[in-house]
């Protein structure tokens, strides 16, 4: 069966560009499905899903949007409509990949739809904004942002080449098949540089037990990506060994994963082993970016662009309370492992963040805050001791029913 590429954009102002891409895709013997999001005028090419259908899915109508004449409000409606329709069309098996192109409004509309799609579905956004900060457009999905170089305003020698490259990219993505291989059950794990020995050994042990471990760098976006994939049903269990993103959430660092971190595993009920990896540090950028109120704190220059700050007793107590709140809601089995000899490479005797008092506050607060559904195990080890990794693997295999 032929694969289908969904093309989303304003066919009133960019009809020639979308027509050019459509023809190139169909020359590759792929199908196209056209969704119009243009508000101002009539489409220059015929869509399969009209702008009025998109507007109605967004809670309005094309006639109402034109009568109101409020471009910002119109974009909001079309974003909601695209999100609703893209999700439904994909669930119904109507397309296999998505391509969009546009300026500011078109990029917001197109990527809003792309973020509704699962990771792995090809997504290409050709944008006039793609040479800057695209984090708000990509978020934690595998969206390919392609800079248009020239404005998307008609076809010319330069724009044809760029649009042809975009068409080739989406065709290549959708036509590429993964080699056949045995699929092992997936385990999610979190890691930071200072917990790498622990997670590396854990991954080796899980591989020996017949599982494949997907490691997420606990940088805010990494935690959010893991949460989303847990909800999408990718994982059998979670080894959330590096929960450092809570430090940034509590103290205002730059790598927070937001207040909903650790909710996905709790809500879906998959087994989870959780620990305190890197709860000794808050992240900032270069030293001169550290907020004035923190200038006298225990700061460590990790590199020219990363500054770490040791968490305090009070911050550790608050971090523990927030973690326990999430764990206590878990519908499935939970094991909490406490590494009593330090939560990172830097939290050992003689290292910059060694602070037994802060660690004790963290551990005490966790002990006091967790509910009976959380099984607590305390180990007189640093988190990077190989025996700690083995305990984490043994406990996770145990609660998954695989034995030790």
Structure tokens at 269: 């009920």
Tell me the backbone φ, ψ of residue 225, rounded to 5 degrees.
-60, -45
Please tell me whether residue 180 adopts helix, strand or coil conformation: coil
Distance between CA atoms of residues 145 and 160, nearest Å: 17
Distance between CA atoms of residues 283 and 247, nearest Å: 8
Q: Which residues contact 295 (CB under 8 A, 6 or more apart)?
A: none
What is the model's pLDDT at position 403? Answer: 41
Q: Which residues contact 389 (CB under 8 A, 6 or more apart)?
A: 197, 198, 199, 200, 201, 202, 205
Tell me the backbone φ, ψ of residue 47, rounded to 5 degrees.
-85, 160
What is the model's pLDDT at position 99? Answer: 98
Distance between CA atoms of residues 240 and 354, nearest Å: 22
Which one-letter DSSP state was computed for residue 308? E
What is the model's pLDDT at position 181? Answer: 73
Q: At which residue do the structure tokens 């799609």 appear?
A: 117
In the chain, the largest separation of any two C-alpha atoms, in whole Å, equals: 70
Helix (H) or strand (E) holding 34: strand 31-36
What are the mean pLDDT values of the chain's consecutive 10-residue runs (404 residues total)? 95 94 96 96 95 97 92 94 98 98 95 96 97 94 96 92 97 91 90 96 96 96 96 96 98 97 97 98 96 96 94 98 98 98 96 97 98 97 98 97 54
Domains and CATH numbers, the chain: 4-175 (3.40.50.12020), 186-399 (3.40.50.12030)
- Which residues sit opposite 76 in a β-bridge? none
Q: Which of 270, 265, 342 is nearest to 311 (CA)?
A: 342
Pairing of strands 272-274, 123-127: unpaired
Pairing of strands 281-284, 237-240: unpaired
What is the model's pLDDT at position 180? Answer: 76
Structure tokens at 26: 């169909």
Distance between CA atoms of residues 360 and 358, nearest Å: 5
On whether the CB atoms of residues 21 and 167 are closer than 8 A, the answer is yes
Residue 54's Cβ-side half-sphere holds a number of Cα atoms within 13 Å equal to 29
On whether the CB atoms of residues 404 and 396 are closer than 8 A, the answer is no
- Which residues sit opposite 308 in a β-bridge? 283, 300
Q: Which of 92, 72, 83, 76 is nearest to 35 (CA)?
A: 83
> CA 7 → CA 155, 199, 404, distances in Å?
17, 41, 50
Distance between CA atoms of residues 53 and 62, nearest Å: 8
Residue 398's Cβ-side half-sphere holds a number of Cα atoms within 13 Å equal to 12
Q: What is the pTM of this model?
A: 0.85
Distance between CA atoms of residues 42 and 32, nearest Å: 20
Residues in the chain: 404
What is the model's pLDDT at position 402? Answer: 53
The percent helix, strand, coil of the chain (3-state, each to 5) is 45, 20, 40
On whether the CB atoms of residues 85 and 91 are closer than 8 A, the answer is no
């Amino acid at each position: 069966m032929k694969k289908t590429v969904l093309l989303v954009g304003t066919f009133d102002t960019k009809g020639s560009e979308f027509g050019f891409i459509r023809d190139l895709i169909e020359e590759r013997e792929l199908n196209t499905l056209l969704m119009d999001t243009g508000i101002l005028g009539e489409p220059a090419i015929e869509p399969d899903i009209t702008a009025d259908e998109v507007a109605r899915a967004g809670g309005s109508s094309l006639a109402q949007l034109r009568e109101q004449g409020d471009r910002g409000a119109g974009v909001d409606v079309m974003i909601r409509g695209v999100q609703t329709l893209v999700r439904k069309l994909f669930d119904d098996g109507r397309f296999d990949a998505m391509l969009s192109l546009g300026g500011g409004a078109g990029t917001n509309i197109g990527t809003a739809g792309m973020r509704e799609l699962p990771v792995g579905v090809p997504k290409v956004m050709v944008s006039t904004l793609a040479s800057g900060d695209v984090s708000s457009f990509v978020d934690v999905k595998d969206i390919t942002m392609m800079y248009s170089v020239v404005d998307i305003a008609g076809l010319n020698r330069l724009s044809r080449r760029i649009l042809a490259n975009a068409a080739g990219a989406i065709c290549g993505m959708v036509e590429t098949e993964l080699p056949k291989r045995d699929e092992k059950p997936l385990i999610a794990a979190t890691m930071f540089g200072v917990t790498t020995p622990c997670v590396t050994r854990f991954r080796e042990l899980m591989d020996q037990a017949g599982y494949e471990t997907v490691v997420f760098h606990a940088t805010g976006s990494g935690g959010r990506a893991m949460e989303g994939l847990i909800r999408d049903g990718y994982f059998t269990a979670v080894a959330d060994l590096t929960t450092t993103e809570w430090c940034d959430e509590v103290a205002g660092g730059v790598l927070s994963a937001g207040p909903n971190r650790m909710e996905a595993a709790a809500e879906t009920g998959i087994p989870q082993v959780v620990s305190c990896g890197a709860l000794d540090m808050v992240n900032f950028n270069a030293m001169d970016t550290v907020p004035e109120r923190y200038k006298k704190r225990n700061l460590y220059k990790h590199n020219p662009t990363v500054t770490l700050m040791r968490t305090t007793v009070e911050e550790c107590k608050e971090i523990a309370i927030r973690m326990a709140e999430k764990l206590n809601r878990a519908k499935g089995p939970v094991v909490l492992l406490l590494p009593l000899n330090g939560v990172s490479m830097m939290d050992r005797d003689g290292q910059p963040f060694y602070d037994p008092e802060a660690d004790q506050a963290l551990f005490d607060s966790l002990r006091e805050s967790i509910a009976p559904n959380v099984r607590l195990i305390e180990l007189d080890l640093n988190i990077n001791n190989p025996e700690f990794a083995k305990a984490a693997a043994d406990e996770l295999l145990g609660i998954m029913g695989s034995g030790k």
